[in-house]
Amino acid sequence: MSIDAPLEEVDSRRRKGKLVSKVITLAHGGGGKAMRDLIDDVFVDAFSNPALNTLEDQARFELSDLAKYGDRLAMTTDSYVIDPIFFPGGDIGKIAICGTVNDLAVGGATPLYLTCAMIIEEGMQVETLRKIVKSMADTAKAAGVLIVTGDTKVVERGSCDKIFINTAGVGIIHQDYRLGADKAQATDHILVNGYLGDHGAAILDARGDMCLSTKIESDCAPLQDLIKTLLDAAPNTRFIRDATRGGIASVLNEVAESSNCGIEISEENTPIRTEVKGFCEILGLDPLYLANEGKLVTIVPENEVQAALDAMRAHPLGKESADIGSILTDGRAGRVHMRTCFGGRRIVDMLVGEQLPRIC
């Protein structure tokens, strides 16, 4: 990565600020010294890299540095308002990085750079903010991406719920990858990389709505390395999507509509934890619609299924990968069905409304 000045030169230009206050005040969003101290002491220290440390209004890159990864630019953005902000397996900072990295990676892109904008409620403890920022920094490092620019706003008490985060991402797509929801073909198979619905279950439990004897952790994880492993093993993969809000049911319905095809999945082969099935039955929820933050749905040609499964199962994030169904050859275009354990079929429709609000 190329920048206008080396890191050492940038750092020597001024003395970094130090945050004294233990709580966030409106002054920390006012553009003056208090805000600069917050940025220096909390954000720059955690996210430090040459592109960020210049503290310009934009991050700058040489196009030649980007072109070595591929020939197409991928961009995405997402906002995170999850409640609670800390939950088993993650926090709002971790999910903000994972969600944006995954949105790039499922398109075949190599995620490179992220932006981070935070809306913070007045009165938030600085230590809580530091914990979130550290989580973001650790997750970005694990995902191999840099947070290169950002923004901070502080609003009055009651104007937001603790903290909201927006992240945008830039990645580069290799010329060989042409993935899309419209590319599914008859006899293709549908694979997932493990247990479904864990994130939705973890958030529901963290809110105190359930008292599960066995605690379920969110599956929140950056998937870029697993996706690269998959694409190396099955280069003709048609489609990849992370099954977040709306679960795998919404993803599969999008494929069925875009590719004008029928889809059938097997209840027996779809991996869902017993605990998740249990509380879904109690609450009248369908686990196929529960959110995930570390699970992908992929469609691969029949002759590459075994290679894809072997590669995914050899990866730490794909040990429980499964072949859950296929693209049909008959005329049920635009429909998704599940073959039940009792031998019948039921329609799996697109989610209507919001099953669990503020899940990410």
Calculate ∠ Cα 223-49-13, nearest 5°.
Answer: 165
Last residue of one domain, picked from the residues 117, 145, 173: 173
Last residue of one domain, picked from the residues 173, 208, 225: 173
Residues 102 and 233 in one domain: no
Residues 148 and 197 in one domain: no
Residue-level pLDDT at 205: 86
Band of residue 353 on the pLDDT scale cut at 50, 70, 90: confident
Residues 194 and 328 in one domain: yes
Q: What is the mean pLDDT of the chain?
A: 92
Phi, psi for 82 (deg, rounded to 5): -60, 145
Please name which of 135, 161, 164, 163 lies closest in space to residue 147, comparing C-alpha atoms: 135
Q: Are 317 and 345 in contact (CB under 8 A)?
A: no
Residue 356, domain member (yes or no):
no
Residue-level pLDDT at 72: 94
Last residue of one domain, picked from the residues 146, 173, 200: 173
Residues 17 and 140 in one domain: yes
Residue-level pLDDT at 304: 98
Q: Which two tokens stand for residue 214?
A: 């066995």
Average pLDDT over residues 315-323: 98
Average pLDDT over residues 280-301: 94
Residues 161 and 56 in one domain: yes
pLDDT at 5 > cutoff 60: no
Q: How many structural domains compose the chain?
A: 2
Residues 253 and 159 in one domain: no
Residue 358, domain member (yes or no):
no
Residue-level pLDDT at 47: 96
Band of residue 14 on the pLDDT scale cut at 50, 70, 90: low
CA distance 147 to 149: 6
The CATH number covering residue 205 comes to: 3.90.650.10
Residues 164 and 216 in one domain: no
Tokens 């870029």 map to which residue?
224
The CATH number covering residue 162 comes to: 3.30.1330.10
> Residue 252 is part of which domain span?
189-347
Q: Which two tokens stand for residue 283?
A: 């609450």
Residue 82, domain member (yes or no):
yes
Beta bridge partners of 168: 77, 115
Residue 179, domain member (yes or no):
no
Band of residue 36 on the pLDDT scale cut at 50, 70, 90: very high
Mind listing the pLDDT tens digit for each residue in 198-223? 999 999 888 876 666 678 899 999 99
Q: Which two tokens stand for residue 163?
A: 């903290």
Residues 207 and 165 in one domain: no
| Contacting residues for 8 by C-beta, under 8 A, at least 6 apart | none
Residue 14, domain member (yes or no):
yes
Band of residue 15 on the pLDDT scale cut at 50, 70, 90: confident
Residues 139 and 246 in one domain: no
DSSP 291: -
pLDDT at 8 > cutoff 70: no
| Contacting residues for 41 by C-beta, under 8 A, at least 6 apart | 16, 17, 18, 19
pLDDT at 82 > cutoff 80: yes
Residues 163 and 195 in one domain: no
Please name which of 164, 108, 172, 119 lies closest in space to residue 145, comparing C-alpha atoms: 172
Residues 21 and 146 in one domain: yes
3-state secondary structure of 241: strand
pLDDT at 1 > cutoff 70: no
Beta-strand relationship, 163-173 and 146-155: unpaired
Phi, psi for 299 (deg, rounded to 5): -120, 120
**Longest distance between any two alpha carbons in the chain, whole Å:** 71
Residue 230, domain member (yes or no):
yes
pLDDT at 360 > cutoff 90: yes
Band of residue 295 on the pLDDT scale cut at 50, 70, 90: very high
**Greater model confidence, 17 or 84:** 84
> How much of the chain, in percent, has pLDDT values that exceed 70?
94
CA distance 165 to 99: 12
Beta bridge partners of 88: none
Residue-level pLDDT at 212: 66
CA distance 22 to 109: 40
* CA dihedral sign, ordered 288, 293, 295, 297: positive
Mind listing the pLDDT tens digit for each residue in 88-117? 999 999 999 999 999 999 999 999 999 999
Q: Are 227 and 241 in contact (CB under 8 A)?
A: no
Residue-level pLDDT at 329: 83
Residues 242 and 296 in one domain: yes
Residue 360, domain member (yes or no):
no
Residue-level pLDDT at 4: 40
Q: Are 235 and 176 in contact (CB under 8 A)?
A: yes
CA distance 136 to 145: 11
Kindly report the pTM of this predicted structure.
0.93
